[in-house]
Structure 1
Amino acid sequence: MTTRTLAQRIVSAPTSDGAGVRLRRSLGQHQGARLDPFLMLDEFSSDKADDYIAGFPSHPHRGFETVTYMLDGHMLHEDHMGNRGDLLPGGAQWMSAARGIIHSEMPQQESGRMRGFQLWINLPAAEKMKDAGYRDIRPEEIPEATLPGGAQVRVLAGRIETASGALEGPVTGVTTEPVYIDVSLPAGGRFEHAVPEGHSAFVYVFEGRAAIGTDTLDTHVAGVLTAGDRVEMAAHEGPVRFLLIAGRPIREPVVQYGPFVMNTREEIERALADYQSGRLTA
């Protein structure tokens, strides 16, 4: 077995998106900060309504999948297909924009804390023009467990072994075979997990500091991991909470223009023309 180590740090940068939602972007802040098949990871977290109240009004996507995971707050998803889903604390949505989707995500609160993440996962060329899809994942659908070493985990995608059997996340059947695990460690706690050897993998620390071998990761930092078939993490000087995300690389060209991610410039131009003419979702 080969334990993965830290290959690169990507410090998240403050930015805004949607109608002015303040957030922090790690993966995706520039083209060199991608990790095939992952295009972007945003963290939004604020107690100030002005930082999130404008939300993400109706906007298009084509060519990839989005995963929104809520920790605190209440957001409403609506799209052109008639889907309507409540994003509640501990819940998630997995949306495949594929050939085209127009959707909105709007806060359903005027005060209090809004906190969560949005991950963009690329689609292979063969799936970019398939029909769009959407899944609303309720908090109770995401399995939880406490592992040896004190780790508390929630498994959105992938599989993890526990003393009482395997836990499998609710998201299956995705070509990139994603792993998406929310891990909380107490002070002195440790976490070990097998990750497919060929997968790209990174961790994102959003509370406390984490140790990876002799390296450490601070809060709001993504750590890209080396090749291997195992991840070992530990809390560093107090409790820590992080996401472990991994997926099978697609190894295809990526051409991105805002909310459109295709393989060629011509396909991007077609996406823009389709959106402008109303054919994006036809």
Structure 2
Amino acid sequence: MNAFVNSSRLIPAMAVPEGAGVTVYRTIGAPTLRNYDPFLLLDHISSDNPDDYIAGFPAHPHRGFSTFTYMIDGHMEHQDSMGNSGDLGPGSAQWMKAASGIIHSEMPKQDNGLMRGFQLWINLPAAYKMDHPEYQEFSADAFPVVETPDYSMKVLIGNIGNAKAPIVDNLTEVVYLDVTVKPGKRFHHAFPVGSRSFVYVFEGTGQGNGENIPTHSLVIPDTEDNVFDFIAGPDGARMVVASGKPIDEPIVRYGPFVMNTREQIDQTMRDYQSNDFVRNRAWVKRDH
């Protein structure tokens, strides 16, 4: 398949083993698209077979970036080395600013076998990489939903018009939407000028900017006005629609550590190996 299609770049998801053997479907962060500033990784968990995910993601570290986890079906219990814990249920989401360092685990809880969700990694500017870590965690009903005759749009980060999500990213101005388009109907979206944007179709199919888009595909609009114009197929479609302001700084990455120089990565490794990794307790904001 040609990765470039007229006014969009199309990237099929790649199955990747993570954690204790969980299969995730990766687009950003895969060999085809290593980084997409400010985004570092987009993983899609989707399975109705508990053997695919029940081993979960045992304790592992992060430093230098933020993660956004959005659950669609099933549950994800999480806890960290500082005593914070929680349970992300269907429709809920968490913004975790790892910054100077967090060691945490994410373990799925079976819910009629079905587990679906997303994790997006967002880079932090150099000046904020060693900030205190923070959590923002909200249940499904905390997020506004915009309904139109053609589509519904859940606003998870940022704002669209008067619909404002409880999670706000002031550093990279991320906007993150869950959009469901009815069969044969249209969704037209103009991304902020100067932003990096993407669309990931995870249910159904359709035409985006005039090109066919299959299920489990990431689309990067490549139009001069940064617009995505989508017509859903006969079964409708559901997609993640996101954008963010690029940081334009060097990225040096070693697994779950993302810094600006090799020396900083080496220091991070020393901190982790000497048990000097977690320096500050995370601050937690919840709606419950």
> Which TM bucket (shorter chain)?
over 0.9
Q: Counterpart amino acid of 1:155?
A: V
Q: Sequence identity of aligned pairs in percent?
A: 48
Q: Choose from 237, 241, 247 the match for 1:244.
A: 241
Q: Choose from 173, 177, 197 the match for 1:177.
A: 173
Q: Which residue of 2 aligns with 1:270?
A: 267
When residues 173 and 43 of structure 1 are mapped into structure 2, their CA distance, relative to the original with a 3 A threshold, is: closer
Residue 107 of structure 1 aligns to a residue whose secondary structure is strand
CA distance in 1, matches of 2:146, 2:112: 31
Q: Which residue of 2 aligns with 1:157?
A: 157
Q: Which residue of 1 aligns with 2:92?
A: 91
CA RMSD of aligned residues (A): 1.5
Check the 8 A contact 2:74/2:111 in 1, yes or no.
no
Check the 8 A contact 1:18/1:55 in 2, yes or no.
yes
Q: Which residue of 2 aligns with 1:196?
A: 192
When residues 263 and 144 of structure 1 are mapped into structure 2, their CA distance, relative to the original with a 3 A threshold, is: same
Unaligned runs of at least 5 residues, structure 2:
1-5, 280-288
Q: What is the 5 A alignment of 1:1-282?
A: 6-30=7-31, 32-109=33-110, 112-148=113-149, 150-161=150-161, 166-226=162-222, 227-282=224-279
Unaligned runs of at least 5 residues, structure 1:
none
CA distance in 2, matches of 1:171, 1:124: 18
The structural deviation recorded for 1:7 is 2.9
CA distance in 2, matches of 1:92, 1:214: 32
CA distance in 2, matches of 1:112, 1:31: 31
The structural deviation recorded for 1:108 is 2.1
The structural deviation recorded for 1:257 is 0.5
1:189-211 CA-to-partner distances (Å, cap 9, x unmatched) read 11123321110000000011132
Q: How high is the TM-score relative to the length of structure 1?
A: 0.93
Check the 8 A contact 2:157/2:169 in 1, yes or no.
no
The structural deviation recorded for 1:9 is 1.2
1:95-150 CA-to-partner distances (Å, cap 9, x unmatched) read 011010011111122751011010000001011011111111111111112125x1
CA distance in 2, matches of 1:224, 1:33: 14
List 4+ stretches of structure 1 deviating above 6 A.
Answer: none
Check the 8 A contact 1:49/1:111 in 2, yes or no.
no
The structural deviation recorded for 1:76 is 0.6
Residue 273 of structure 1 aligns to a residue whose secondary structure is helix
